Amino acid sequence: MRMYTNHCKGYEEVHVPALKPDPLSAEEKLVKISAMPDRARKAFDGLTEINRVQSKVYETALFKSDNILVCAPTGSGKTNVAMLTILQQMGLHRNEDDSFNHSDYKIVYVAPMKALAAEVVRNLSNRLTQQYGVTVMELSGDKVLNRQQIEETQIIVATPEKCTCHLS
């Protein structure tokens, strides 16, 4: 499909087709969920593989404590990259019986706005609460957490203004 323009009364429509991604190169492989460690698979229930962006950072996100900056368009899978890093951090706090010591860590996910924070809380809660016993709470806009709630929560999804003034 090509770009085209429609001249209408009082305005002009310009249709720009989405770019098609390049095909995977010979050395590029999408990570299969079945190839992930058992402890990580439950968080990706319903998927058979992760996408290209997620696969590129998979090794670092799930197995290393390195810093990662992912800049990608909306809908490209950044939340799943965050999930990999959350699982990596949880894995550092496993007990001998493979359960997690949830009191030993705190994760702060900064969402740019309240609507997105609520969506991220739902997503992470659906994937982590029942499967792993993780508590996810929102700290944004009019949502306030008291000291006890903060202590009992493993993942706090905050907006920037709440993150800077309430978590210090």
Note the pLDDT tens digit of each residue in 89-141: 999 999 999 889 999 999 999 999 999 999 999 999 999 999 999 999 999 98
Per residue, the 3-state secondary structure of 141-152, as one string, reads CCCCCCHHHHHH
User: Is residue 74 assigned to a domain?
Assistant: no
Beta strands at 136-139 and 11-15: parallel, antiparallel or unpaired: unpaired
Q: Is the dihedral of CA 49, 51, 56, 61 positive or negative?
A: negative
Instruction: Give the rounded percent of residues in the chain with a pLDDT score beyond 90.
Output: 70
In a domain, 21, yes or no: no
Q: Which residues pair with 160 in a beta bridge?
A: none
Domain count, the chain: 1
- Would you say residue 157 lies in a domain? yes
- Indicate if the pLDDT at residue 167 is higher than 80: no
Mean pLDDT of the chain: 91
pTM: 0.83
Domain contains 120: yes
Task: Identify the domain containing residue 124 by its residue range.
Answer: 106-168
**Residue 84 covered by a domain:** no
Residue 144 lies in a domain: yes
- Residue 121 belongs to some domain of the structure: yes
Query: For strand 155-158 and strand 136-139, is the pairing parallel, antiparallel, or unpaired?
Result: parallel
Structure token pair of residue 152: 């009992």
Is residue 76 a part of any domain in this protein?
A: no
